Amino acid sequence: MNRPWVTKRALAGIMSALVLSSLLTSCGGDKSIVEPEPPASLSELFGPVLYKADGDSVGIEAVDGKAIIAIYFSARWCPACAGFTPQLLSAYQELQQNGRSFEVVLVSLDDSSQEMFAHMMDYDMPWVAVPYGGEKADSLVRRYAVAWIPTLIVIDGQGQTISLNGREDVGSKGAGAYEDWLAKGA
């Protein structure tokens, strides 16, 4: 399914975000969390089936029981995503090597499922993705009011929002952001 509105919406969102970010920073604005209605389960949030980069499907067990889950809104065509993805990969690998309870779920805003899988393969993304273009992907974009990419939303294992600014957290602290997220989720 071709979804050209995603590209136009994302580009418009980037411009809006730059203006809004500038205003918030200059006005001392607060990016406090406005918690959406908590999900009944992670399956309700992501759906029962997730996908690995090679196209194999896995169950929700891939994220179930994790203390911290990062929801990564990204696309292959996005230059800013190309800049952030290696930072997220580095933090992810460090956290995994240190045995931390952490997982990433990709929500692709690419133009097709083939592009989503190519994007995942391009970066050897070790994490999972919600099905491309499905109801869950769309509901996650709406739930977290994603207006630009890359966006990284951080939740705890029950689906409660910990940070709407995961990208900034990883950008400034790398894997060290995990401890802050864990403290906020406790």
DSSP β-ladder status, 68-74 and 151-156? antiparallel
pLDDT in tens, 92-128: 999 999 999 999 999 999 999 999 999 999 999 999 9
Q: Is residue 117 part of a domain?
A: yes
Q: Is residue 146 part of a domain?
A: yes
Q: Is residue 24 part of a domain?
A: no
Which CATH number is 63's domain given? 3.40.30.10
Q: Is residue 152 part of a domain?
A: yes
Detail the DSSP E strand segments found in 16-167. 49-51, 57-59, 68-74, 102-108, 128-129, 151-156, 161-163
What is residue 35's DSSP assignment?
Answer: P
- Written as six digits, the tokens of 97 are 């090597």
User: Cα-Cα-Cα-Cα dihedral of 93, 99, 101, 104, to 10°?
Assistant: 10
What is the predicted pLDDT for the residue at 95?
98
Q: Which domain holds residue 123?
A: 42-185
Q: Is residue 95 part of a domain?
A: yes
Instruction: Name which of 181, 74, 186 is nearest 127 in CA terms.
Output: 74
Q: Is residue 2 part of a domain?
A: no
What is residue 133's DSSP assignment?
Answer: T
Number of domains in the chain: 1
Mean pLDDT of 62-82: 97
What is the predicted pLDDT for the residue at 39?
84
pLDDT of residue 8 exceeding 90: no
* pTM assigned to the model: 0.82
pLDDT in tens, 13-63: 443 343 333 333 333 333 444 556 778 899 999 999 999 999 999 999 999
What is the predicted pLDDT for the residue at 35?
58
